[in-house]
């Protein structure tokens, strides 16, 4: 059986050969770059129609479409990520986590931001002192139920 890992390998190879970018792929299948990359590396499931489009775009075997649409088992192996680019986000959660909680509480009440009904983008913000990485997250507010 073809696995999510197998398909990721095929995508990376096809992408390299075709000289595509994640933004380019995302645009062609009309999805966001964040979700597209995430589903291509097996951390999300494509809607079936999008999986079909991607398979056509990259000329992957037909079975790959089914695999890309399967619900993945999300495993992140490192409790504390070591890559500096990812660690900085872990650090932000550590340093600002209580602040995020306090402000969500103040603006909404006793609840959380959903990580499921959630979307995110990464953009390049031009800046004379050096361009900046802008990350925008939007998640549905979920109120704790009291019963």
Q: How far is the CB of 7 from its own copies (least distance, A)?
A: 14
Which of 62, 106 has the CB closer to its own copies?
106
Dist. CA 108–CA 47, nearest whole Å: 31
Dist. CA 67–CA 28, nearest whole Å: 20
Q: Which residues are catalytic?
A: 88, 91, 114
92: which 2 tokens?
A: 């932000």
Q: How far is the CB of 108 from its own copies (least distance, A)?
A: 7
Dist. CA 61–CA 4, nearest whole Å: 13
Those residues with Cβ within 8 angstroms of residue 57's Cβ, 6 or more apart along the chain or in another chain: 25, 28, 29
Dist. CA 19–CA 140, nearest whole Å: 36
Q: How far is the CB of 126 from its own copies (least distance, A)?
A: 11
């Amino acid at each position: 059986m073809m696995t999510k890992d197998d398909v990721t390998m095929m995508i990376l190879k096809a992408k390299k050969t075709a000289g595509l970018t994640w933004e380019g792929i995302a645009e062609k299948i009309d999805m966001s770059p964040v979700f597209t990359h995430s589903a291509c590396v097996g951390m999300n499931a494509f809607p079936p129609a999008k999986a079909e489009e991607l398979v056509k775009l990259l000329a992957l075997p037909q079975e790959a479409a089914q695999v890309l649409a399967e619900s993945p088992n999300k495993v992140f192996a490192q409790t504390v990520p070591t890559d500096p680019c990812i660690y900085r986000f872990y650090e932000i959660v550590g340093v600002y986590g209580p602040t995020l909680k306090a402000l969500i509480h103040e603006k909404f009440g006793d609840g959380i931001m959903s990580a499921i009904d959630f979307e995110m983008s990464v953009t390049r913000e031009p800046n004379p002192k050096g361009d900046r990485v802008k990350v925008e997250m939007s998640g549905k507010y979920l109120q704790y139920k009291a019963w």
